[in-house]
């Protein structure tokens, strides 16, 4: 696991975008696993900026988003489908027929999960972008006694609903369930890029990356993957200084 810590989250975003863009430049038909939440926003901004400068195209890239709320239509302003259009897809040439997000409005959610897994088997993910929840969740794989490998419906923990309430008008509007790619599918990606910012995540960063591997902290399973790069800002990495490879790496090309 390669862990890099940046002085500012803008530098982290710049570096993460560069890693993703390098993947696309090397492999124009790359399969990207994409994440939502507040952390990737700066990364998507940098990707859009780079696209606007020219010389890069996403039209042959296939994407799979990690998760989607159950019960929110794609048009809902807090759906992850809408987020992806607002942050990335709507400003670039991603082909809508190649961008995949679980449908949280599917009449048969079990069939939707199976169909998503079938697509993932057909298009193995080259590079999976991940954020980190405060309780160690990745995608919406919540801490539990056991974790599920494939795409599935999950009951969101009260802490996760509370953390995401800031995006909704009223905390009661936060959906109680989501569809998420499972831990097994996430770990099948050839390479994983975990991005975490903020002092409020310093403890869970340490627990995930330097603590025991346990289903009580789903992100700790990333320790079992052979190709993980972790990008932290100064605050998120402040409890990991003993194990970090590159301390406060400045990124001059921002
Ligand atoms: C959400 C998403 C995750 C995301 C996490 C952290 O619940 N399902 O994919 O990584 O929360 O979000 P944020 O980056 O806003 O802290």
| 3-state secondary structure at position 37 | coil
Of the candidates 32, 91, 81, the one whose C-alpha atom is nearest the C-alpha of residue 60 is 32
Contacts 24+ apart (CB under 8 A), 83-86: 83/36, 84/34, 84/36
Global pTM reads: 0.95
Summarize pLDDT for 88-109 with one digit per residue, the tens: 999 999 999 999 999 999 999 9
Q: What is the pLDDT of residue 245?
A: 65
| Atom nearest to 156 CA in ligand 1 | 7
Helix runs in 27-108, H state only: 41-53, 80-87
Distance in Å, CA 133 to ligand 1 centroid: 5
Q: What is the pLDDT of residue 241?
A: 82
Closest protein CA for atom 10 of ligand 1: 131
Catalytic positions are: 67, 135, 137, 142
Q: If one looks up domain 2-233 in CATH, what number appears?
A: 3.40.50.1360
Burial of 250 (0-12, 13-18, 19+ CB in 10 A): exposed
Distance in Å, CA 74 to ligand 1 centroid: 18
Residues 6 or more apart in contact with residue 139 via CB below 8 angstroms: 35, 66, 67, 130, 180, 181, 182, 186
Closest protein CA for atom 6 of ligand 1: 133
Name the residue of 13, 34, 37 whose CB sits within 8 Å of the most ligand 1 atoms, as the mutation to test its pocket.
37
| Atom nearest to 36 CA in ligand 1 | 9
Torsion of CA 9, 13, 18, 20, to 10 degrees: 140
Q: What is the pLDDT of residue 244?
A: 78
Distance in Å, CA 232 to ligand 1 centroid: 15
| Site residues for ligand 1, CB cut-off 6 Å | 35-39, 66-67, 131-133, 139-140, 160, 164
Summarize pLDDT for 148-172 with one digit per residue, the tens: 999 999 999 898 899 899 989 999 9
- Tens-binned pLDDT, residue by residue, of the chain (254 aa): 999 999 999 999 999 999 999 999 999 999 999 999 999 999 999 999 999 999 899 999 999 999 999 999 999 999 999 999 999 999 999 999 999 999 999 999 999 999 999 999 999 999 999 999 999 999 999 999 999 999 999 999 898 899 899 989 999 999 999 999 999 999 999 999 999 999 999 999 999 999 999 999 999 999 999 999 999 999 999 999 887 766 566 655 66
The H or E element containing residue 67 is strand 67-69
| Atom nearest to 201 CA in ligand 1 | 16
Q: How far is CA 151 from CA 67, 95, 183, 187, 249, in A?
A: 9, 23, 9, 12, 36
């Amino acid at each position: 696991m390669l862990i890099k810590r940046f002085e500012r989250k803008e530098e982290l975003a710049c570096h993460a975008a560069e890693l993703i863009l390098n993947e696309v430049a090397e492999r124009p038909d790359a399969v990207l696993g994409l994440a939502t939440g507040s952390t990737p926003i700066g990364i998507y901004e940098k990707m859009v900026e780079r696209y606007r400068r020219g010389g890069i195209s996403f039209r042959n890239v296939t994407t799979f988003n990690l998760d989607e709320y159950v019960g929110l239509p794609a048009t809902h302003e807090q759906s992850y489908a809408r987020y992806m259009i607002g942050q990335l897809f709507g400003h670039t040439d991603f082909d809508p027929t190649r961008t995949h997000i679980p449908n949280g409005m599917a009449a048969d959610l079990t069939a939707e999960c199976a169909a998503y897994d079938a697509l993932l088997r057909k298009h193995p993910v080259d590079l999976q972008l991940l954020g980190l929840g405060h309780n160690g969740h990745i995608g919406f794989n919540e801490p539990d006694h056991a974790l599920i490998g494939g795409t599935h419906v999950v009951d969101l923990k009260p802490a996760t609903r509370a953390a995401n309430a800031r995006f909704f008008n009223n905390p009661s509007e936060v959906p109680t369930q989501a569809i998420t790619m499972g831990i097994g599918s996430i770990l099948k990606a050839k390479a994983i890029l975990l991005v975490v910012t903020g002092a409020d995540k310093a403890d869970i960063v340490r627990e995930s990356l330097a603590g025991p591997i346990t289903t009580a902290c789903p992100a700790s399973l990333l320790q079992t993957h052979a190709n993980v790069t972790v990008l932290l800002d100064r605050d998120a990495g402040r409890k990991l200084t003993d194990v970090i490879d590159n301390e406060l790496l400045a990124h001059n090309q921002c």
